[in-house]
Amino acid sequence: MIEEIQDAETLGTNPGDPLPQLPGHVSHGRFERVLRAGHFAVTTEIAPPDSADPDEVLTRASLFDGYVDAINATDGSGAHCHMSSLAVCAILTRAGYSPILQISCRDRNRIAIQGDTLGAAALGVCNALCLSGDDVGAGDHPEAKPVFDFDSVSLTRTLRVLRDESRFLSGRKLDLAPKLFIGSSINPFVPPIANRADQLAKKIEAGAEYIQSQYCFDMDVLKDFMSKAVDMGLTEKAYILIGVGVLPSARTAKWMRANVPGVHIPDNIIKRLEGADKPLREGRNICVEIMQQLKETAGVSGVHVMAYRQEKWVKDVVKRSGVLDGRVPWSPETEELN
């Protein structure tokens, strides 16, 4: 343990100098360690800046210090242009953070994606999340050519081939395989709701080792989905993290429901926000309550807090929910590795 702590301090902060890989682990990363140790994990999402300034990335990441186990770097989410997820991850690994590289199939073909995956691992990135990606029409460059050479399932399988078989899809051998902890996403809240557990099974069969879900504002649907997943044995094969969000007002909630693809917000949540004296506070209360219920739901291994433009509240909701059970995730100030 002492050795590990020293390693974390001396090695973990430089790209290419990751933590030692523990037996039975596929990556060198801290995120995988937290999950495999059986802790309830907390992840969040960083909004990549519209800037070439690396300090901006670090400033945004520091908002979560001590409260999250990993930070997702989005890949042109909503089909809007921002700093690339690979670059955000590289900057974060330099400071010792544990970023999750989101890879969307929208903008790159299999040649680019495999190359970027090797590059990310070379820069010290330990986690990747495979996504299909939003439609280009949803973004600020609707005239762009959508690529979609892969879908998220084929992408997941491809990363497993790179890592486990140490080769490109073409068969050409790699000298060093990328040691990545590989995940994918699921949205249990939109049709075909009856088949979403089957789709989860496909993602896991393709090689997903953890899953991060779309926003959960509907515990009834989630509980059904999770009980199916548990019955199918899927929660034994992959760690499931459920997405939660902080809604600032009924108006924003209604706007998101109507305009952001895949976001399901039931009427009772909107009513609660409408009836609240302090909607912003109520939005955080809702988030805290859902997190607490998720912690008690069989098969759920963690939460993924998405708080776009509400990032400053992530610490608050995580703290109040108590889901960390007093555990303090690593941050640049942390002296000890948990």
Shortest gap between Cβ of 203 and another protein (angstroms)? 8
Could you say which of 76, 133, 183, 279 contacts another protein (CB under 8 A)?
A: 133
* Residue 134 binding another protein, by CB under 8 A: yes
Place of tokens 């399901």: 264
* 84 forms part of the interface with another protein (CB under 8 A): no
Q: How many residues does the chain have?
A: 338
The verdict on 191 binding another protein (CB under 8 A) reads yes
Is the alpha carbon torsion for 213, 326, 72, 206 positive or negative?
Answer: negative
Q: How many CB atoms lie within 10 A of CB 240?
A: 26
Binding span for another protein by CB under 8 A among 222-230, 256-264, 289-297, 321-329: 256-264
Figure out which of the listed residues 50, 140, 205, 231 binds another protein, where binding follows CB under 8 A: 205
Distant-in-sequence, close-in-space partners of 129: CB < 8 Å, separation ≥ 6 = 72, 100, 101, 102, 103, 183, 184, 185, 212
Does 162 help bind another protein (rule: CB under 8 A)? Answer: no
Q: Is residue 237 close enough to count as binding another protein by CB under 8 A?
A: no
Provide the 3-class DSSP secondary structure of residue 222. Answer: helix
Determine if 269 is a binding residue for another protein (CB under 8 A): no
- Write b or e for each residue in 214-238: b if 16 or more Cβ atoms lie within 10 A of its Cβ, otherwise e: bbbbbbebbbbbbebbbeeebbeeb
Angle between the 279-295 and 267-275 helix axes, to the nearest 10 degrees? Answer: 140
CB of 132 to another protein, least distance (A): 5
Question: Under the criterion CB under 8 A, does residue 180 sit at the interface with another protein?
Answer: no
With CB under 8 A as the contact rule, the residue among 149, 224, 274, 316 that binds another protein is: 149
DSSP conformation class of 17? B
CA atoms within 13 A on the CB side of 236: 5
85 Cβ contact partners less than 8 Å away, ≥ 6 residues apart: 48, 73, 74, 75, 76, 101, 102, 103
Q: Does 114 bind another protein (CB under 8 A)?
A: no
Out of 14, 59, 166, 195, which residue is the one contacting another protein (CB under 8 A)? 195
Q: CB-wise, 97 or 150, nearer to another protein? A: 150
Task: Considering only the stretches 116-124, 147-155, 216-224, 279-287, report the one whose residues sit in contact with another protein under the rule CB under 8 A.
Answer: 147-155
**Which residue, 15 or 168, has its beta carbon nearer to another protein?**
168
Report in angstroms how near the CB of residue 295 gets to another protein at its nearest: 23
Binding site for another protein (CB under 8 A): 105-106, 110, 132-135, 137, 146, 148-154, 157-158, 185-187, 190-192, 194-195, 198-199, 201-202, 205-206, 214, 261-262, 264
